Each structure stands twice: as C-alpha cells, then as structure tokens.
Amino acid sequence: MPIIWLFLIVIAISAMGYVLGRSRALRSAGGDIRNLHSLPTFYGANVALKAVIPTFGLLIVWLLLQPLYVNSHVSGMVPDTSIKEGSSRSLVMAEVRRTANGLNNAVTQGLLSEAEAANPNADNAEIAQLLKEAGQVVTSDITQPVLLAAQKHRVMNATGYSIMSVVIILVALAGVVISWWQTHSEYRARNVVEQGVRVLLLAAASIAVLTTIGIVLSLVFNTWEFFKLYPASDFFFGTTWAPSFSGRGGASDLGIIPLLWGTFYISLVALLVAVPIGLFAAIYLSEYASPRVRSFAKPLLEVLAGIPTIVYGLFALLTVGPLLLSVFGDDGLGWMKAGTAVMTAGLVMGIMLIPFVSSLSDDIINAVPQAMRDGSYGLGATQSETIRQVVLPAALPGIVGAILLAASRAIGETMIVVLGAGAAARLDLNPFEAMTTVTAKIVSQLTGDADFASPEALVAFALGMTLFILTLGLNVFALYIVRKYREQYE
Amino acid sequence: MTDASMQSPETRRHAVSLTASDARTKKRAAAEKRFRAYGIIAIATGLFFLIVLFTSILSQGIPAFQRTVVSVEFTLSADQRDEAEGTMFKTKAYSNLFIAELNEQLAESGITVDFDQDAIERLLGKIGGTIRTFYADNPGKLGEPIMFDLAASSRVDGYFKGRVSRDTLQDSRFLQLSDLDLVDALKEAGIIKQAFNWPFITGADSGVDNPGGAGIGASVVGSFFMMLVVLCLSLPIGVAASIYLEEFAPQNKFTDLIEVNISNLAAVPSIVFGILGLAVFIQFMHLPQSAPLVGGLVLTLMTLPTIIISTRASLKAVPPSIRDAALGVGASKMQAVFHHVLPLAAPGILTGTIIGLAQALGETAPLLLIGMVGFVARGYPDGFLAGFTEPNSAMPAQIYTWAARADVGFYEKAWGGIIILLMFLLTMNIIAIILRRRFERRW
C-alpha cells in the first residue's frame, strides 16, 4: 500500500513541523511565553496544518486526475480496427485495465519479471495463462493492441505514482520550511490557524452539497447516455417492460409505466395499512393514553422503525407471503397464485411505515395549542368530538405532510419489494398479482452481468433519476406543508 | 305560533331528568367509546405486528444455531494409515475404516442396522477425505483416540428439526427413506445428536448446494470493516459540518444551500446512494467492486445527514451562557467551541453517531448495487489492510444472498443471520440509551 505509506510520511513530516514551529516560536520569544502573540501550540499547529492541508488536497486531486489522464492517453493507442463488432471502446479499456492489473499482480507474485512484463513481443496466450495463474480474471483472450496498451497503462501509472510521491513529499516539506521561516514571536499564528480550521469546517459542510452534485451528475450523465440509445418517449410512455439481455437477442421494451404503476399500487396498499393504524395510534397516544401507557407503547411502536428493511423483506417472503397464499391461494379463495404479490409487499411495507406516521402525527397533534381543546370542551363537546372537529382539522396540514413523507418512503423502499413483490412487470388491478417497482428493477438491471454500455443496464440510471425526482418533489412539498403549518401556532 | 313552537322543546327538556341520559347523549357517549376503541385497536394491531415479527424471527431463526453432528471416537494406528495409503482408492479405505468403527460402536450399544458406504456418504458427505486430511495435517495424533464431530447433511439436519419428515420424503440421491432408519439407530446409540452451531457464527459462506456449511462470520468481518470506514469518516466530517453550520455559518445563500441539501439527502432513497456509489466509486474512480471500503464510503454519505442533524441538536442544547462565559475570559470563538461547547455536547453526539451506525449496519439496498451480493465470501480477509479492499460480503447482504437461494435450508440461515444482526443493533441501541441516561444533562 504505497499510498498508506505516503500518508504516514506526510503525517510524520507535519508532526515534525509541529515540534519545529513550536520551538522556533519559543526561541524567538526568548523562552518567555508572554512575548508571543499566540500560545506556542498555535505556532506548531500553524506549521503542521500548512504541511498537511495543501498536500492532501493535491493528493486527492492527483488521484482523481491521473487515471483520467492515463486512460485518455492509452485509449488513443487502441486502433478502431481492433475494437470488435458489438463491443465498444470503454469495454476494451476495461479489458486493458484488467490486463494491467494482472501484470502488476503477476510481478508482485514473482511469476513475471519486470522485463517480461514490459516486453512488447510477449506471447499473448502465454501472458493470458500467467495472468490467470496470478488470480486475475481475464475475460477474453488478450490481443496484441490490448497487451501493448496494458503495458503502457502500467508504465504510465507507475511513473505517475512515483512522480506523485516525490511531489507530495516536496510539497509537504515546502509547507514546513516556508511556515517555519515565517514563524517569529510577532506572527499571528492563532488567527491563521483558526482561519484554516474554519476553512476545513466549511469544507466538511460542503460535502453534503458535493454528494448531491455527485448524485445528480451520475444520474444525469448516465441517463443522457441511455436516451442516446433508447428514445425518451418510449421510456416514459411505453406500457411494456421486457428487457432482453444481449445474449437472447432482439430489442428490449423499456417502458416505465408498468413499473410506476406497481410502485404506486404497492405504496397505496402500504399507506392504506399504515395511515389508519398510525393515525389512530397517534391520536390515542397523544390525547387519551396515560403517561404510563404512553411510555411503553410509543417506544415499542418505534422499534418497528428501527428494524432493518432486509428483515421486513424476509418477513414478507417467508412469513406473510405463505400466510396470504394459504388464505387467498388455490387452497382458499383462489385469487392468489404465488406468495409474492402486491398485497404481500404492501402489507409488510405498511407495518414498517406505522411508526413513521404515528410519531410524526403525534408531534403534530401535540403542537395544537391546548386552548383550542379547552374552548371546545367549554362548549360541551366530548373528547372525541373535540378531536374530530377541532384538533384534527387544525393538525390536518401537518398530518398530510406526514403522510406524504411516508409515501415518499414507500416509493423509495427497495428490499421489501425486491423480496416480496415478485419480478413481473404488469399493468393489473388485482392486488394479489405479482408486480414490480422502480426500485426492484434498478436492482435487477444493475446486479446482472450486463455491461454498463447497454441500454438494459443504463435504463437503471433513468429509473433512478425518475425515483430521485419523485421522492425529492414529495419531500420538498411535504416539508413545505409541515413548516407552513408549524408557523401557524408559534 | 312562534312562541308556542319555541316553548314546547324547552318544556320537554325540562321534563327530562338531568341524571338519566337521553338518546342523544347515549349516542354521543357511544361514539366516544368507539373512538377510543379505535385508538386502542390501532395500538394493539401495531404491537401485534411487532409480536408476530419477532416470534417468526425467533421461531425460524433459532434452529440455525443448532446443528446435527455425528460424533464418533476413532483411532487410527500408523499401520492402518500406511495400509490405507497403499490402496488404490485412498479415501475409500479411510471411510471403510470409519464405517467399521461405527459398526463396532453400534454393536456395543446392542443396535443392529444395515447400511452401506453410500448411505454414510449421504448422511455425512465424503468422510474419507476429511479423515485423511486430518491425519495428514496432524501425524502426531496417530494411535490416539480422536473424537470426530462430523456435520450431518442438511437434509438429515432437517429431519431432526422437523423440516423433513418420513411421510413426505422421497428417495433421492441426497437422502433415502432407509437412511432415516440408520439415523434413528444412531440417535438411539447417542452417536448422532444436536449441538450448538459454532461454525454458523464463525464460518464463511458456502456454495449454493451446501446450506449446512454456511456461516455468517466472514460477513460480520465485512460489516465490521465497513462500519470502521463509516465511523472514521462520518464522525469527524459530520461533527465538523455541524460545528460550522451551528456556530460559524454566516446567514447567506450558500449556508441555505447546505442546509437544504442536508435535509433533502436525509430523505433520498437508499438505493439512489447505491447508484451514486456505483457510478462514482466504481465506474469513475475504479475502486474494487464488493470491497468494504466502497460499501463504507457509500454508507458514510448516507449516514452523514443523520449524524449532522443529531449533532446540531446537541450543540444547540448547550446554553449560550457557556459560550459567553468562555468569550468573556478571553477565549476566541474557536476556543470557546472546541474547549467548552464540544465536550459538553459530546454525549449527545456519540449517541447520535451510534444510532447512525446502527442504521448503516442494517442497510442493504446500496450494497446490492456495489456488488456485495453476487460475491460468495468464502473466507476471512488476509490481513487488516486487505480487509478494506478485498471483496467481502456484509451481514445484510449475506442474509439477502441466502434468502435469494433456491435451497430451503438457506432460509433457516437467513433467519439466523437476522437474529445476529438484530443482536448487534440491539447492543448498539442499548449503548446509546445508556450513554444518554448516564450523561444527559438538562440545563
């Protein structure tokens, strides 16, 4: 792990800088701390930070840019003629990278000498055999241009990393030397260090923004690729979902409508389970329950929210599905053919959402001012009349917001539908049929062996984009409603 | 006319006693009762679901912690070994020796049952090879009596646990009806018995055709490395981001942007984070697939909003008088925050972090997309650093893999895996609760 070593070396240099900076400051003050502008530790930290921050910034940028640079350089070495029919440049480049990795592994394991690994006239078949022995998976036989490109790739990367190590260490040393030279008793070390820490804090906070940018870019970029291969109108308005992976031949039908229908149907069933139970539970807990009942029922209900979704998925697949099948299946009412169905997934998802609806509604009902209830009681209303006619209408916008948040959870839920809802995409009204959702199809399209350049794999990004926009829209809307409502009584 | 009509209901009302309730009051009281009952029913239903969930986890998962073993005391002399090594079919010779020993022990207990080598193979797999490797590795044990605990095949295991019964069993190459007679005889002799399934807890995943040998240990290690990455990244970044937003951020557009982003990221479906991980870490940065490092990075991005939100809440809970006092005695703003506010907020931050980690530990969907599912974790990583980059599975991914396999024997393992996962989550939550109880301070 050379990068780990580099990391440790930089840390060591900055630790050394800390000691040097601190002692120089003390010396320039004649050993009397009162002559210093800042505490001695700040002088040390100043030197250490100036060694570390630019170095790690540079390291990250270098590590991101070098593969891009090497790839674009090596990619030019592979002639268009050597790219097979039905393949693409990106696939060939993946092969090049695998071969280069294999060469590296073979050299570290001592199967190949450095000279053999760089030999342009090496026998392709022999190399392929050696790489397999070194534990590298090489999919197709290595061709001459691929081998050459791989050798070049390897050499460029190796040189790149050695240059990087040298540059990084030099930058770290330069940071130490410059800031050490600046250090004297009048230097405003504390202000500088605090400014630097502030920048670091800001950088940490910006990671949230970077994540969003990363999500949006990775979705937009790949969705764009997908729409170049597959017409957008067929995707948004197509009513059949029938992907065919390249092995089976033929064009795929990738219409999103059956998936959206499955998503909405399952979410609807889930909300029909979760909203009445959650809402009534919240009403009882906030208006009727004694503190003792509340103190044990509320945390118990919230346990349901802390259980991982894989547990619910297994519960749907192995417990609820067979149970429903024994009632509604061929032995019972004859409506259901298999344990995986909209009903199974919807029911289990509903159970998962109960605490979500109940605790959000509970908060909102509790926020309704007591004066409104007292007014209603004063007019002679019973407790339930007060709740139905005063508290609930007052809390309604908030409750709608809570339900919308639950709906967005239901739409984005993956594990329960992957295990409980089946894999068939269909437009049907029968809730005992298997249907599938956007999230389940993202999983199935991206976990196969399909290459990333095919529309069958890229469609997952378009589905992800749809899902992202859908849930984001619901959330923003719900938060807007909740916030607006809260201001009403504050 | 009007006077009369106004008077008549009033006189009627006065005619009614106030102590006895009239029809309308009764109706209202009944409505009140019904409404209250709806609430009780709703809570009872919720709790009922919770109970059903846990009983189904426990009833179906506990058998995974039991396995069926055949323990036979077996002695092999050096002569016997040399003789067996001299034959053409070496493992067969070993297994013949073993069968002879087994027959002897059965005869000692006064039980007679007919069986052949094939039956033993169906029950125990290829024992000859197991014995031979044992003695090849431990030549010093020759001549000593050794207790062999051999795992019975998953169908025999199922017979003990009630999954396979005599009525429904059909002869196949895996198990025949006559084998069950042998199993019953062995049981009577006390040779075959149920034991605690240590290999399930410590072992690695097995192939698709061997549910009996599958263990969750390797994926626990995978999850551990992932959580290490999440902890090392999300705690410092989350705390730094919260400090900035809570203590230093100026009121401007960029701060608003960060705030909006954090609250939105908290609600983005986890599968979208998986897509991000696939596109950025694997497609773009070419980090290794199925590696705990990548899983940890994705889960870090997912956990950050949770940690930031809880950290901000605990920073907010520290009263401003603490900051004012620190500033008053000459501390800089940075010193006030790092020396006084942060230590006071630490218990709350820690609690939030543990809860965020627990969430991340149970998360499955993003792991499916970065390839932690197709991978069969057959062993432990080679070393500490290799643990981050070598392909591995994680607990929830391993459970999903088992649930998706065709063999029913794996379902039991999946439920057992869930028990272990939930035990980890329970421990983490209890630690969080204890921390909160112990250090919570009301100002």
Nearest CA to B218 out of B378, B399, B383, B411 is that of B378
Would you say residue A77 has pLDDT above 50?
A: yes
Which residues of chain A have a CB within 8 Å of the CB of B261? 208-209, 211-212
Percent of chain A with pLDDT over 70: 87
Tell me what the pLDDT averaged over chain A comes to: 85
Neighbours of B212 (CB within 10 A): 24
Q: How far is B68 from chain A (nearest CA, A)?
A: 24
Q: Give yes or no for B50 touching A (CB within 8 A).
A: yes
* pLDDT, tens digit (0-9, with 9 covering 90-100), for B68-119: 888 777 777 777 777 777 777 777 777 777 777 777 777 777 776 767 777 7
B151-172 average pLDDT score: 75
Q: What is the pLDDT of residues A14-48, one digit of tens each?
A: 999 999 999 999 888 887 888 888 888 899 999 99
Residue A467's pLDDT band, with cuts at 50, 70 and 90, is: very high
CB-based contact, B297 to chain A, within 8 Å: no
Taking 90 as the threshold, does the pLDDT of residue B386 lie above it? no
Mean pLDDT of chain B: 83
- For chain A positions 234-253, those within 8 Å of chain B (CB to CB) are none
- Is a pLDDT exceeding 60 seen at residue A248? no
Task: Give the mean model confidence (pLDDT) for residues A320-341.
Answer: 82
Beta carbons of A412 and B269 less than 8 Å apart: yes
Does residue A321 belong to the interface with chain B, where contact is any CB pair within 8 Å?
Answer: no
Q: How confident is the model at residue B1 (pLDDT cuts 50, 70, 90)?
A: very low
Whole-number percent of chain A with pLDDT over 90 = 36
Bridge partners, B150 (sequence order): B70
Alpha-carbon distance values, B218 to A56, A377, B203, B341, B391 (Å): 33, 62, 6, 41, 11
Cβ atoms of B275 and A442 within 8 Å: the answer is: yes
List the structure tokens of B257.
């942007």
Question: How crowded is residue A327: how many other Cβ atoms within 10 Å of its Cβ?
Answer: 11
CB contact under 8 A, A309 and B362: yes
A304 touches chain B (CB under 8 A): yes
Among A1, A194, A211, select the one facing B301 at the smallest CB separation. Answer: A211
Closest by alpha carbon to B442, among B350, B333, B360, B347?
B347
* Helix or strand holding residue A233 (H, E): helix A232-237
Does the distance separating the beta carbons of A221 and B279 come in below 8 Å?
A: yes
pLDDT tens sequence across B242-275: 999 999 989 889 898 898 888 888 889 999 999 9
Whether B214 and chain A come into contact, CB under 8 Å, resolves to no
As beta bridge partners, residue B70 has: B150, B192
* Confidence label for A357 from pLDDT (cuts 50, 70 and 90): very high
Residue B299, phi-psi category: left (phi > 0), alpha (psi -120 to 50), beta (remainder): alpha
Q: What pLDDT is attached to residue B349? A: 92
> Greater confidence, A281 or A132?
A281
3-state percent helix, strand, coil for chain A, nearest multiple of 5: 75, 0, 25
User: Which residue among A208, A300, A351 sits closest to B265, beta carbon to beta carbon?
Assistant: A208
* CA pair distance B288, A55, nearest whole angstrom: 25
Task: Say whether pLDDT at A175 is over 80.
Answer: yes
| Mean pLDDT on A166-179 | 92
Closest CB to B50: pick one of A206, A214, A304.
Answer: A304
In Å, how far is B292's CA from the nearest CA of chain A? 16
B408 touches A at CB < 8 Å:
no
Number of cross-chain residue pairs from A and B with Cβ atoms under 8 Å apart:
255
Q: In chain A, positions 151-180, which contact chain B (CB-CB < 8 Å)?
A: none
Contact A319, B426 (CB under 8 A): no
Type of residue numbered A227: F
Q: Residues B394, B367: contact at Cβ < 8 Å? A: yes
Q: A297 and B28 in contact by Cβ < 8 A?
A: no
Query: Using 50, 70 and 90 to split pLDDT, how confident is the model at A87?
Result: low
Q: Which chain A residue shows the shortest CA-CA distance from B29? A: A382
What is the Cα Rg of chain A in Å?
Answer: 31
pLDDT over 60 (residue A421):
yes
pLDDT at A247: 46
- Across the interface, whether the CB atoms of A472 and B358 are under 8 A apart is answered no
B364 touches chain A (CB under 8 A): yes
CA dihedral B90, B95, B97, B102 (to 10 degrees): 180
| Contacts by residues A338-341 (CB-CB < 8 Å, ≥ 24 positions apart) | A338/A422, A338/A434, A340/A316, A340/A419, A340/A420, A340/A421, A340/A422, A340/A434, A341/A421, A341/A422, A341/A431, A341/A432, A341/A433, A341/A434, A341/A435
Q: Quick one: pLDDT band at residue A334, thresholds 50, 70, 90?
A: confident
pLDDT band at B240 (very low <50, low <70, confident <90, very high): very high
* B interface test, pick of A280, A285, A358, A439 with most B CB neighbours within 10 Å: A280
The dihedral sign for the CA sequence B336, B341, B342, B344: positive
In a mutagenesis test of the A interface, which of B244, B337, B437 is the best target, namely the one with the most A β-carbons within 10 Å?
B244
In degrees, rounded to 5, the angle at the alpha carbon of residue A21 between the alpha carbons of residues A15 and A22 is 95
Backbone dihedral angles phi then psi of residue B145, each to the nearest 5 degrees = -75, 130
Q: Which of residues 113-152 of A touch B (CB under 8 A)?
A: none
Decide if A482 contacts A367 (C-beta within 8 A). no
Q: Identify which of A324-338, B17-31, B228-242 has the greatest average pLDDT.
A: B228-242
Whether the CB of A414 is below 8 Å from some CB of chain B: the reply is yes
Query: By the CB < 8 Å criterion, does B241 face chain A?
Result: yes
Is B234 near chain A, with CB under 8 Å? no
Instruction: Tokens for B84, please give them.
Output: 């067996």
Q: Do B29 and A300 touch (CB under 8 A)?
A: no
pLDDT > 90? residue B227: yes
Predicted local distance difference test score (pLDDT) of residue B267? 85
Cβ neighbours of B404 in A, within 8 Å: 419
pLDDT higher than 70, residue A294: yes
Instruction: Quote the pLDDT of residue A136.
Output: 60
Question: Which amino acid, residue A325?
Answer: L
Q: What is the pTM of this model?
A: 0.85
Radius of gyration of chain B, Cα coordinates, nearest whole angstrom: 33
CA–CA distance, A267 with A269 (Å, rounded to integer): 5
- What are the beta bridge partners of residue B74? B146
Round to whole Å and give the CA distance between B72 and B127: 12
Whether chain B has a CB inside 8 Å of the CB on A267: the answer is no
User: Quick one: pLDDT band at residue A100, thresholds 50, 70, 90?
Assistant: confident
Q: Which of A214, A297, A311 comes nearest B418 by C-beta? A: A311
Residue B352 to residue B41: CA distance in whole angstroms: 33
Which spans in B189-291 are helix H?
198-202, 217-243, 253-265, 270-276
Nearest CB to B268: which of A201, A284, A468? A468
* pLDDT band of B369, cuts 50, 70, 90: confident
The structure tokens listed for B356 are 């965020």
